[in-house]
Structure formats: structure tokens, C-alpha cells
Structure 1
Amino acid sequence: MNTHTISHLMRFEFSLFPLRVPSRPSHALSLSSPTLDPHHLLRETLSRLPTQPSLSHILQAHARLVVLGLASSRAAAARLLLAAAAAAVVAAAPAALVYARAVFASIDRPTAFAANNLIRCFARSRTASREALAFYSRARRLGVPSNNYTFPFLLQACSVAPALLREGAQVHAHAVRLGLDGDLYVRNALIHFYGSCGEITSSRRVFDEWPRSRDVVTWNAILAGYARSGRMSAAEEVFDEMPQRDVISWSTMIMGYVQNGILEKGLRLFREMTRRGLMVNEAILVTALSASAQLGLLENGQFIHDTVRKVNFPITMALGTALVDMYAKCGCIAISRRLFDDLPQRDVFAWNAMICGLAIHGLAKETLELFQQFIGEGLRPTNVTFVGVLNACSRAGLVTEGRNFFKSMVEEYNIEPEVEHYGCMVDLLGRAGLVPEALELIEGMSTPPDPVLWGTLLGACKMHGLIDLGVTIGNKLIELEPTHDGHYVLLASIYARGRKWEDVSKVRRLMVDRGTNKVAGWSLIEAYGCVHKFVAGDKEHKDCFGIYKRLEMVDRRLAEAGYSPDVSSVLHDIGDEEKVHVIKEHSERLAIAFGLMVTEVSKPIRIVKNLRVCGDCHEFSKMVTKVLGREIIVRDGSRFHHFMEGKCSCLDYW
């Protein structure tokens, strides 16, 4: 190492390592004295480094070794490289790599240990993965030895991106050539590498080669590969066959279910894990809360929160944000806000969760006030922040405010509008009857508009009775996405609005000819720890008879109070009496009837729908709260509706 580097290191020899240099030069010290044993001094110096050292810490340790005359030893350099590998995962990773290269270059006859630690530095820096492979190639030419620890680090570097699949396969071939492919650590790294690159067949082949030499890491690696590739049935088989499971095994399955949209299974497995007394970690808790938030199932979310309290798990920013998001999406916006206000620290993700949570509940005033507080804290909004703000404006019909926020997002914060932002603006303008302006906004986009935007505009045409424009947009959507059932349904609705029943029939025949069918609407409700799902006209539920009897009673009470069904949303050319029957069996009404049977009077009936609530079911829900004195909270495919005393929080604007 040159004089400039040494002098640079010497400047860091303070604070962490107080200088205790003997009066005579270090090279003249008697190394026979136990207190001045070089191995002891080396161990003492390096033992003071934290588990996850910064580069500054390492430089201070190196400076002390220079002062003590120990920096030139191979052991010292190798240990410093080990520390640099740990530092490569923190913010100073590029500088740590420069330092690691310099330390390795100073070693005379480097060992495999030193070389492996430099490879580890490269592997842990996501921007220097290829350098690990280039260094390994040079080291082999220079005669630097390799061992079974070399290949896991190389394969870790190749796992960063599928683009390095070919290089990883070459590493595999080299391990075979050196006779190290049977080593447990190498095989585990190979299974993980192929799984990370989406090559699950190759991953399974390595897994099957040595069936009698596996540990829990081996099983976890193949389990993660299946989960990552979306093959959850195969993952379930592996999970069931595992001779031993650890927390990683359980968390891999839970995350696999949630990431692949199998949310209820993920939540059931979380409950099973806690029932067995296994220790939870932050990743599992955040994942389970995410599943509850996506489903809108409060009881599951509360169970997870209770688990957090039971094990006294610290509320980190990630966990706190997940709790805020869960309660907001499960209809408990007041609890969500209280948790947010109590967070000791809040990053932009926490603010975004709260802003978006308020928006989906239609609390526009509170959303915009929180956004101003967010700006006042000196934080910079992201694209997600503006999705929440624009969504709030859309829910409340704040056209002027929405236009201003959209403009400031682009001009003040240099955020390029994305489909979600355009969607909010088109929805805002369309609801307000400004369909021509919404159309102009779509046609002025720099990128081709998403079919979702055209669908939103088509919905506005239906709302305001713009039949001709609606038919034009509907036919355009069918051309763009001929297999998307929603476009046919909306176009049929437009024709039905104009009482063009022959055209409605043509659209429905076209759906059948092209093999598309309307997505069935469903409603979920929790009761006694179970999730109950209803579809229109459902006769499968075990309490079916009681549900329909309760619904008949509700219909009589509402009719006596003056309620009459609005059948305009039924798209069939059938008699009004038949349309009333169709309306009465909508999934939401069945869920409400069941909720009246099983939910305590003092508690709200909570329902989650996959589609936007229809106009008559919305009116029906309001009447139930007025006549029967019950509170109903519905999360539909668009927003939350809080029904109470004959009114809805959306003010009939949804």
C-alpha cells in the first residue's frame, strides 16, 4: 500500500481506537511479551469493529494496525477484507469496494480466504456483480486457490439478475470440474441461484442429485424457488415433505401465497404458525398485514396486531406503516389515523399510506390537510402521494383543486404523470360531467392511453347518458381488448340506458362468441373467524334458508318505509317484476342479511365487494341503516361506503 494511502488511513486513527503507542518505535517492540503479542493485538483491534461496520470504522481499525506495525500481515489484510464485505451492503458500498481492491492488491501471496472476501464484497454490491466473476477469472490465472466457500459467493453475485444466468452456469461447470459440486454449501447456492433466475427445473435437478445430503437451507432454497416462480402447488408439496422447518420455511410459504394472490391461504398459514408458538419476524408480520389489507378482512388484521402486542414486537416504521395501511383498508380509518399519529418516526411510505387511506374513505378535506402537513414537514411527495391526493379530489368532486394538484405535480415537483394519475383526473372530470375535457386529456397524453382510462371515460358516458360517445368508446375498447369482459358489460349498459335491447343482445352474443363472460360479483363478510363469500342468487351457503327468510323480512320492512327497487341497472329486456327479483338476489344483499343474523347489534356489518356497488344496492343499504338502525361499512371495487342513519359517507357521489 502506497504512502498516500497510509497517510490517509492515519487520519482516521482516533475516536474508536484510542492511541496507546509505546515510547519506542513499534518495529523495535519485543513481541515475546504477552501483552504485545501481535496476534493478540490484531484480534483486539478487529474485535472492536461493529457487526455491520461502516467504512470509517474499518479505516480506523486499519490505521491502528499501521501504527502497531501489523497492517502488512496477510492475516490482517484478510480480516480487513472480511469487514469490508460486511460494509459493502451499506451506503458506502462503492467506497468500500475501492478500499477492498487496494487492500487485496497489497497482499503478497493472497489466500483463498482473502480472495473469497473480495468476491463477497463484489457480490454484495448489486452494481459490481460482474466484477466478482472477472476477479475470480484473474485470480485463477494467478494461482490464487479456490475452495467450497468461493462458489457460493460467486453464485450470489450471479443471482442478482437473470442476465447472469449463463455466467452462473459456467460457475456451476467449474465447480463440477474442481469436484466441489457435491459440497452442501455449493449445492445450496446452486439451488438458490437457479431459483432466483427463474430456472426452477435446473434448481430441482440440483436438489434431486444428492437426496441424502440436505439440510433445512437446501429445502428452503427449493421452496423459495417454487414460490418465486408462482408454482405454489409444488411449493406446498415441498413444504409438506420437509423433515424440518424453521421460521424461514414458514415465512417463505406465507410470502409466496400473498405475492401470488392466494391471500386467504397465506393468512391461514400465519395463524397456524403462531398457534405452534413459532417466533414471528418483521417480514412475516408485514406480509400478513398486507394480505389482510388487500382482502379488507378486519378480524385477520386484528389477530395479527394482537400477535404483535402479545410478543411485544417493536413497532418499526415498516410494521407501523403496514398497520396504518391495514386498518385504513379494513374500514377502521379512525384507528388507522391514531396509529399514524402515534408513530415515533414517519417516512414517506407511512405518510403515503395515511394519505391514500383517507382518500379511499372519501375524506377529501382531511386528505388535503394531511398533504399540507406532509409538505410542511419538509418531505418531498412521490407519485404515490399524488395518487392519493388526486383520488381524494375525485371522490369529493373537487375539480379546481384536482386541476391545480395535477399541474403542481408536473411543474413544481417534476413528477411525470402515470396511468394512475390520469385515471384519477379522468374520473374526476367525468364524474363532474366534464367528459369533453376528460377526452381531451386522454388524447393529449404523450404515451398511448391505457384501456383502463377509456373504460373510466366510458363509465362517465353511462353516468351522464352520453349514448353516442359511449358507443364509440365502447367499440374502441372491444377492439383494443377483445377478451376483457368489462368492456362488453359497459357497452351493453350504455345500450340498455338508451333502451336499445337489440343492441344489448348483440353485445352479449359477441361476448359468448369470443368466449368472454361477465366477472361474477361477490361479497365477503367475516363471522366467527371464518370468511363467508356470496354471489348473486347464492344457494350454496349452509345458512341459505335462514338468509333468504331474513332478506324477505328486511324487504317487507323497507317496503313499508317507502323503498321501491330501482331496476335500471338490470341489462335484460325482461319485465320489471323479473328485474326486481334479479336485484333482490345481489350478493351484497345476501351478505347484509347474513350480517344481520350473525353480527352483534352494537357492531357494524362489514362487507367487501369485488365490483363497484350498484345504485339500487347502495339505496337498499342506506334504507337498512335507517329502518333497522344498523351501521354498514362496504368496501367496493372503488372506495369505502359508511352507511348510517339512512345516509352514506360518499354523499351519493361514487
Structure 2
Amino acid sequence: MLANKINHLLSLCKQISSSQPISHSRPLRYLPPRPSLSQIKQAHAYIIVSGVFGYVRFMGHILAYLSLSSSIPLDYCSTIFHTMSFPSVFTFNNMIRCLAKGNSPYDSIALYSSLQRRCLKPNKHTFTFVLQACSKALAINEGVQLHTHVIKLGFGDDLFIRNALIHLYCTCSRVECSKRVFEEHVLCRDVVTWNSMLAAMMRDGQINVAEQMFGKLLEKDVISWSTMIKGYVQNGLLEQGLVCFKEMRVRGIRPNEAIFVTVILASAQLGLLGHGQFVHSTIESLNFPISIPIGTALIDMYAKCGCIEKSISLFNDMPRKDSWTWNVMICGLASHGHAKKALALFQNFTSEGFCPTNITFIGVLNACSRAGLVCEGREYFKLMVDKYGIQPEMEHYGCMVDLFARRGLIDEAFQLIETMTTPPDPVLWATLLGACKIYGLVETGEKIGNKLIQLDPAHDGHYVQLAGIYAKARKWEDVVRVRRLMIERNTNKVAGWSLIENHGLHRFVAGDREHERSSDIYEMLQTIGMRIAEAGYSPNVSPVLHDIEEEEKENAIKVHSERLAIAFGILVTEVDDCIRIVKNLRICEDCHEVIKIVSKVFQREIVVRDGSRFHHFKEGKCSCLDYW
């Protein structure tokens, strides 16, 4: 066995010597800047077999090369390090760096202690590497001790060490400490310093401070812009993130993959197609490669902006897909009511050798729920548990309860909830409450509604749902009682709004008269009202939770936010253009019927993304088949 190993080492040496002449005194001289692990081992073999003078010094360089590897073989590094009786500071530093980059950051910190016990004096590189280890291990106590060593040994004004300290404090959520380090030496900063502080401020929610710092930063690199864009989006300021992206493009900065993915996801969350199309066109104009993360984000964006056909096209054109890509497409199809396509795609997904996850089954069960496929829903729920061993989570139960509730199978929904190993969350009960409203189950709805109010007294939706059940049953005293309870508990109904994009964003609320074209919009509403009445429209005033005259109820419904948005859309778009609306709440029954008739009378395609799903209105029909 030993002879075989020696022969293998000799063969490796011959490979090196035959490919390029290596100086006996400089055996590492001809290695590339970032050699592969195989090349490093060949050089190591040459050093061992040829008995090169200065073995310890060369081993330090071997460790230096290993520390640059993308995947560091820590066992191999440790073996090299422990062969040396008296490793130098240089060797210690490189071993500390290897451990810091690997999965053993605490071992890196321990090795620093070992260096001190040997009475070796750490240098600036030592602190840079060991502080990186502290950041990775979130070892704030050890990091603070190292900070004192930095000051004691006179390295307090070293730029790289200061950057490592700022990064440590930021990572460990000690923002004020990082701020103090940042402000100590005003002249000792580079773009890395500023970027670390920008990230810290954004992570801490100090948006204004980050904006001020960003304004002062003279040399902004792509990381600076990425930090601001990502910070805006993570703090829910989606539109500001997109504005920042556009400003970055005006200044000629080429985005990286992380920026593209972030702004695509922001566009998806907003549901505004124009923003997403701008990002997509930027990717194409720069000939930026459509990686799996970017392709997946684009599929998700188009699905959430109502362009499911574009999502399907992108999905089909992607040469490589991962499981997340498939999951996004399955969930997208489900949200648009394409249940059979979603289920067929799931079959292809498993045929391709992918293993479903909990997210996959959320999409599959949601598809069944949207289309009322009760039998299929039961089968897939059983398949998820029995074949793939995935324990149902609240979202899976939610899909099944929704499926049963929509089909009026209230008892089966109750039975499923009773089998849950964890207590049902308010969303499940709210789903059942909605079904009670649809099927007029006043007593059951009253019980669930009161239970929900006890579980989650601050949530306005529960009161509104319960009041809606009473209103449908014309129990106006109970409606008044529930609304009074809302007021007493400071729980007001969330105002519904609708967004439409046309040379900017236009937001409407019910009865809105703030828009600059308000008079034109209301004139168009009158026109719409006359045309749909001629087509046989009759108002459904059940959503109005007030005991008022029928005429007043009809007038209240006429000015719902989505109707104002559609009236504006008809005014400002071409006849062949699709009108796209984003709504924060579930569309009411009457508005749903009105938009169906509008799509037929005005021969317009209208897509509404409400709080529940997508509705594609065309030629008097909706993709949800009146089942939402």
C-alpha cells in the first residue's frame, strides 16, 4: 500500500515536470494565481518527494493557496498544519483563514489563542482573518476581545481591520458599535467601509440615515447600489427600490444578478407589469445571461402581474430549471385558475426526477382548491403524506379547508381541522367563516365569527365577515352591534384600493374624487352604468353593510375602487390594450359581475389581481368561473 502511494506521488511529480520546468528552489513558482486542488496536491507531492529545502515555508504557501479554494478541504489543511512543529505567523494566518472560510469558524478563533500561547505576535492579516471568523460564528464576545487586542497592538487605523470590525458589529446587530468604529477615523474609509455601513443601516430599518450616507458616498460601486435597492425592498419600500434601480441605470452602472433578481421580485410583489417589463428589457439590452435565479424570478413576476402566458413561454424556453423554477410555475398556474395545467406540470415535474417539496404541494393543492377539484385534492393530500413523507403545514390545511368550504363541505372541513396536530390558525377559521357567508349558514358563521374575534381581536376582517353574514340575513341590529364592537376596540375596516399603471401609478379608493381626471372618470362611470344596464345588469347590494335604502346601496357600490380604476383604464388605454388592475381586498360579487359585463359590452380584456386570486375577464366570462 505504501509503495503504491509513493509511486502515485512520483507519477504526479512526473506530470508536473513534463508539463513545465519547475525550479528546484521555487517549486510553487509556476502555479496559477488560483490553482485547483489537484494542482496544489501535485505541487505538494513534488515538494515531499524531491526533498526541497525550506519545507515549512512552502507549506505555509500551500495553505495560502488552499485558503483561496471555493471548497476548502479542512482535513487536508489540518494535516499539513500539524506536520509542522514550529509554524510561522504566516502559516498560522493561512490556517486561520482556511478555518474561517470553512464550517469551523470557532476553530479559527481557537487557533488564534494557540498562536498567542506560542508567544507569536499577530500581524494585521491575523486580525482580518480571525475577525471574519467571529462574524461568521456571530461570536460577538470574542470579537470585542479581539478589538481590544487590535487597539493594544496598534492596528486601530488599518483599513482592512476596521472594515472587518464594522462587518462584525453589523453582522451581530451592534449597529451603534459599528457606527462608532466608522466615525473614529473619517479618512480611513473606502467603498467597502461605506457599503458595510449602508447595509447595517438598512438592516436596522434606519432608511433615512442610509439615504444620507448614500448621498455622501462619492464613488458608488455596484455593491453600493445593490445594498440600497435590496434595503428598500426588504423594508417594504418596493417603489423606492425600483426608482433607485432606474437611477442606477441612468448613471450607467451595470447591474449584477442579485440586483436583477431583487427588482424583479419587487415588481412581482407590486403586481405592476410596466416595472417588470422595464427590468426584463434592461436584461435583454445588456445581453445579460438568463440564469436560473433570473429566469425563475421573471416567470414569477409575469405570473403575479397577470401575464401567465408569458410565464409559460419563459418556462418552456429555459434550457435549465431547478425545482424552484417548477414550483413557481405550478403555483403561478394555480393562482390563475389553470388547475389542470398545474396538475399536468406536476406530473412532468416528478417524471423529470425532481422530488416535490412542501411548496410544490401548496401549489398543487391550491390548484385543486381554485377549481373545486375535491377528489383530486384528497388524493394529492394523501400522496404528499404517504408517498413523500411531507407533514402537512398550515398552508396545506388551508388549501384543503378552502377546497371543502367552497364546495359547501363544511362538516368535512371541520373534521380535517380536528385531525390537525397543531392548533388551527385564525386563517383557517376565517376561511370557514367566508364559506358560511356564501352558503348563508348564519348560526355556524356566528359561532366561528365570535371565536375568531376572541382569537384575533385586532383583525378587522373577522368583524367585517361576521357583519357580512348578518347583513346577508338582513339582521341589521347584529350588523350594528359588530360594527360598534369594531369601534370600541379601535379596529377599523381596511380601506379597499385599486391600482392601475399608466405613465405612473394611479390609486383609487371607493368614492374617490381626488384624481386629476375625476370628472372624466365619473362621466365614464355613467356611460358604463347605462351600457351594462342595457345588457341586463341588475345590482347585487349584499356587500353593503348598512341598513339603508336600496338606491343608496346601489350608489355606494357604483363607486367601488375597482370600478373607478376600470373607468380610468377605458379612458387612457387603446381599445386593443388589456386593462390591468391590482386590488388589495377580495373583489365583491357585484363588481365581479359588472366587470364581466363590461368586458363583453366594451370588448375589452380586463385582468384583476385581488386579495384572493387572478381574474381574467373576457367576452363576458371570468377565468375563475365565478368560483373564488
TM-score range, shorter chain: over 0.9
Task: Tell me, in whole angstroms, the C-alpha distance in 1 between the residues paired with 2:260 and 2:401.
Answer: 36
TM-score (norm 1): 0.92
The 8 Å contact of residues 430 and 452 in structure 2, kept in 1 or not, is answered as yes
Give 1:35 shift: 5.6
Task: Tell me, in whole angstroms, the C-alpha distance in 2 between the residues paired with 1:274 and 1:618.
Answer: 40
The equivalent of 1:103 in structure 2 is 80
Among 208, 215, 221, which residue is 2:183 paired with?
Answer: 208
Task: Tell me, in whole angstroms, the C-alpha distance in 1 between the residues paired with 2:481 and 2:447.
Answer: 15
The equivalent of 2:144 in structure 1 is 169
Give 1:492 shift: 1.5
Change in Cα spacing, 1:144 to 1:410, as seen in structure 2 (3 Å) is farther
The equivalent of 2:113 in structure 1 is 137
The equivalent of 1:67 in structure 2 is 49
- State whether structure 2 residue 286 is matched by structure 1 residue 311: yes
The equivalent of 2:550 in structure 1 is 576
The 8 Å contact of residues 626 and 646 in structure 1, kept in 2 or not, is answered as yes
Change in Cα spacing, 1:107 to 1:360, as seen in structure 2 (3 Å) is same
* CA deviation profile, 1:180-224 (whole Å, cap 9, x unmatched): 222111111111111112221111111111122211111111000
Change in Cα spacing, 1:216 to 1:458, as seen in structure 2 (3 Å) is same
Give 1:648 shift: 0.3
Task: Tell me, in whole angstroms, the C-alpha distance in 2 between the residues paired with 1:189 and 1:295.
Answer: 36
Q: SS of the counterpart of 1:488?
A: helix
Specify every segment of 5 or more residues in structure 1 that has no aligned partner in the other structure, as ranges.
23-33
* CA deviation profile, 1:153-197 (whole Å, cap 9, x unmatched): 2222222354x2222222222222222222111111111111112
1:368-379 to 2 correspondence within 5 Å?
368-379=343-354
The 8 Å contact of residues 622 and 646 in structure 1, kept in 2 or not, is answered as yes
The 8 Å contact of residues 120 and 153 in structure 1, kept in 2 or not, is answered as yes
Change in Cα spacing, 1:517 to 1:275, as seen in structure 2 (3 Å) is same
Give 1:385 shift: 0.6
Task: Tell me, in whole angstroms, the C-alpha distance in 1 between the residues paired with 2:584 and 2:10.
Answer: 63
Task: Tell me, in whole angstroms, the C-alpha distance in 1 between the residues paired with 2:347 and 2:468.
Answer: 40
Change in Cα spacing, 1:13 to 1:642, as seen in structure 2 (3 Å) is farther
- State whether structure 2 residue 29 is matched by structure 1 residue 43: yes
Task: Tell me, in whole angstroms, the C-alpha distance in 2 between the residues paired with 1:8 and 1:597.
Answer: 82
* CA deviation profile, 1:280-315 (whole Å, cap 9, x unmatched): 100000111000111111111111111111111111
The equivalent of 1:151 in structure 2 is 127
Give 1:21 shift: 7.2
Task: Tell me, in whole angstroms, the C-alpha distance in 1 between the residues paired with 2:12 and 2:467.
Answer: 76
Q: SS of the counterpart of 1:18?
A: helix
* CA deviation profile, 1:337-374 (whole Å, cap 9, x unmatched): 11111111111011111111111110011001110000
- State whether structure 2 residue 501 is matched by structure 1 residue 519: no
Change in Cα spacing, 1:469 to 1:86, as seen in structure 2 (3 Å) is farther
Change in Cα spacing, 1:12 to 1:537, as seen in structure 2 (3 Å) is farther
Change in Cα spacing, 1:570 to 1:310, as seen in structure 2 (3 Å) is same
- State whether structure 2 residue 426 is matched by structure 1 residue 420: no
The equivalent of 1:25 in structure 2 is none
Q: SS of the counterpart of 1:617?
A: helix
- State whether structure 2 residue 15 is matched by structure 1 residue 18: yes
The equivalent of 2:226 in structure 1 is 251
Q: SS of the counterpart of 1:583?
A: helix
Residue type matched to 2:24 in 1?
Answer: P
Give 1:246 shift: 0.8
Q: SS of the counterpart of 1:43?
A: coil
Give 1:62 shift: 2.3
Q: How many equivalent residue pairs?
A: 628
Task: Tell me, in whole angstroms, the C-alpha distance in 2 between the residues paired with 1:558 and 1:420.
Answer: 39
The equivalent of 2:98 in structure 1 is 121
Task: Tell me, in whole angstroms, the C-alpha distance in 2 between the residues paired with 1:10 and 1:224.
Answer: 53
Q: SS of the counterpart of 2:607?
A: strand
The equivalent of 2:207 in structure 1 is 232
Among 458, 467, 479, which residue is 2:454 paired with?
Answer: 479
* CA deviation profile, 1:553-611 (whole Å, cap 9, x unmatched): 11111112221221101111211111112111111111101111111211100111111
Percent same amino acid at aligned positions?
Answer: 56
Task: Tell me, in whole angstroms, the C-alpha distance in 2 between the residues paired with 1:331 and 1:306.
Answer: 18
Change in Cα spacing, 1:636 to 1:57, as seen in structure 2 (3 Å) is farther
Task: Tell me, in whole angstroms, the C-alpha distance in 2 between the residues paired with 1:240 and 1:580.
Answer: 52
Task: Tell me, in whole angstroms, the C-alpha distance in 2 between the residues paired with 1:463 and 1:172.
Answer: 65
Task: Tell me, in whole angstroms, the C-alpha distance in 2 between the residues paired with 1:521 and 1:121.
Answer: 55
TM-score (norm 2): 0.96
The 8 Å contact of residues 25 and 53 in structure 2, kept in 1 or not, is answered as no
Task: Tell me, in whole angstroms, the C-alpha distance in 1 between the residues paired with 2:405 and 2:339.
Answer: 18
Task: Tell me, in whole angstroms, the C-alpha distance in 2 between the residues paired with 1:166 and 1:559.
Answer: 73
Q: SS of the counterpart of 2:255?
A: coil
Among 286, 291, 294, which residue is 2:261 paired with?
Answer: 286
Per mean C-alpha deviation after superposition, the further-off stretch among 367-376 and 65-74 is: 65-74
Per mean C-alpha deviation after superposition, the further-off stretch among 267-276 and 78-87 is: 78-87
The CA RMSD over aligned residues, in Å, is 2.2
The 8 Å contact of residues 570 and 579 in structure 1, kept in 2 or not, is answered as yes
The equivalent of 2:235 in structure 1 is 260
Among 614, 621, 624, which residue is 1:650 paired with?
Answer: 624
Task: Tell me, in whole angstroms, the C-alpha distance in 2 between the residues paired with 1:231 and 1:159.
Answer: 21
Q: What stretches of structure 1 move > 6 A for 4+ residues in a row? A: 12-17
Task: Tell me, in whole angstroms, the C-alpha distance in 1 between the residues paired with 2:488 and 2:8.
Answer: 79
Change in Cα spacing, 1:7 to 1:266, as seen in structure 2 (3 Å) is farther
Residue type matched to 1:605 in 2?
Answer: I
1:203-602 to 2 correspondence within 5 Å?
203-528=178-503, 530-602=504-576
Per mean C-alpha deviation after superposition, the further-off stretch among 329-338 and 640-649 is: 329-338
The equivalent of 2:582 in structure 1 is 608
The equivalent of 1:197 in structure 2 is 172
The 8 Å contact of residues 47 and 55 in structure 2, kept in 1 or not, is answered as no
Task: Tell me, in whole angstroms, the C-alpha distance in 2 between the residues paired with 1:259 and 1:70.
Answer: 55
The 8 Å contact of residues 56 and 84 in structure 2, kept in 1 or not, is answered as yes
Task: Tell me, in whole angstroms, the C-alpha distance in 1 between the residues paired with 2:140 and 2:607.
Answer: 50
Residue type matched to 1:37 in 2?
Answer: S
Per mean C-alpha deviation after superposition, the further-off stretch among 565-574 and 359-368 is: 565-574
Task: Tell me, in whole angstroms, the C-alpha distance in 2 between the residues paired with 1:9 and 1:475.
Answer: 80
Task: Tell me, in whole angstroms, the C-alpha distance in 2 between the residues paired with 1:365 and 1:561.
Answer: 33
Residue type matched to 1:81 in 2?
Answer: L
Change in Cα spacing, 1:561 to 1:197, as seen in structure 2 (3 Å) is same
Task: Tell me, in whole angstroms, the C-alpha distance in 1 between the residues paired with 2:171 and 2:490.
Answer: 36
The 8 Å contact of residues 17 and 60 in structure 1, kept in 2 or not, is answered as no
Q: SS of the counterpart of 1:607?
A: strand
Task: Tell me, in whole angstroms, the C-alpha distance in 2 between the residues paired with 1:17 and 1:236.
Answer: 59
The equivalent of 1:27 in structure 2 is none
Change in Cα spacing, 1:213 to 1:587, as seen in structure 2 (3 Å) is same
Change in Cα spacing, 1:203 to 1:490, as seen in structure 2 (3 Å) is same
* CA deviation profile, 1:404-457 (whole Å, cap 9, x unmatched): 111111111111111111111111111111111111211221112111111112
Task: Tell me, in whole angstroms, the C-alpha distance in 2 between the residues paired with 1:105 and 1:72.
Answer: 16
The 8 Å contact of residues 383 and 415 in structure 1, kept in 2 or not, is answered as yes
Change in Cα spacing, 1:507 to 1:167, as seen in structure 2 (3 Å) is farther
Specify every segment of 5 or more residues in structure 2 that has no aligned partner in the other structure, as ranges.
none
Change in Cα spacing, 1:68 to 1:465, as seen in structure 2 (3 Å) is farther
